[in-house]
Chains A and B, each alone.
Chain A
């Protein structure tokens, strides 16, 4: 069983809709959670970090964390074609300094 699971997609949404990306993790002691965006042929760039249960908003992006359910999600409001990319969920397990990355969800926003 993978430690960080994401649906590989592609997730296709129309322009202007809300895109919802989900991630589950297995280490119950995990404390830090990150969402990265990766355009094709480029390196991952950080979008959001979240450390506490609940919602964290930054512009059109909202990260949601539920530690009891071991679930973290990313909502993108008013999706734009420029949001089309692969979104990687990363989790810092309880021990160590490394991050565990999910396989990524490919998002396609259609005009």
Chain B
């Protein structure tokens, strides 16, 4: 079974804090993704990585950065958290050839 693990299920941070969300997959997938999901807005892609140290901006990259130093790990960084970044964050991974994305359990982040 594919396993995509996100480091935290729930996280509460203060405005201005630097926040790290970690994602690890065990299937040797080339692609990894970070989404946020908000009521009425659906799934929105923040960043995508197709290889170690490679990244592409998604639809809403502002206020976020990412890091992929190892193939199995993809980190999302909020440089200075703001209240409008309160959301559910979902990590996913896939093979390049098959495009089926497998999701982690999600991290519900609250920024106060």
Q: Are B103 and A43 in contact (CB under 8 A)?
A: yes
B112 proximal to A (CB < 8 A): no
**Closest CB in chain B relative to A10 CB, distance in Å:** 14
A69 proximal to B (CB < 8 A): no
**In chain A, residues 14-54, which have Cβ atoms closer than 8 Å to a Cβ of chain B?**
32, 34, 42-46, 49
Query: In the complex, which residues of chain A have a beta carbon less than 8 angstroms from the beta carbon of B41?
Result: 103
Given A42-B105, A97-B31, A34 and B42 contact (CB-CB distance below 8 Å): no
Residue of B nearest to A6 (CB): B42
Q: Are A103 and B58 in contact (CB under 8 A)?
A: no
> Per-position contact with B for A86-111: 1 when CB-CB < 8 Å, else 0?
00101010000111011110000000
- Pick the residue among A34, A42, A88, A103 that contacts B100 (CB under 8 A): A34
B102 proximal to A (CB < 8 A): yes
- Pick the residue among B42, B96, B99, B102 that contacts A102 (CB under 8 A): B42
- Pick the residue among B45, B100, B104, B106 that contacts A49 (CB under 8 A): B100
Q: Are A97 and B99 in contact (CB under 8 A)?
A: yes
Q: Are A103 and B33 in contact (CB under 8 A)?
A: no
Most buried by B among A43, A49, A99, A103: A43
**Closest CB in chain A relative to B30 CB, distance in Å:** 8
B43 proximal to A (CB < 8 A): yes
Interface residues of A (CB under 8 A from B): 32, 34, 42-46, 49, 88, 90, 92, 97-99, 101-104
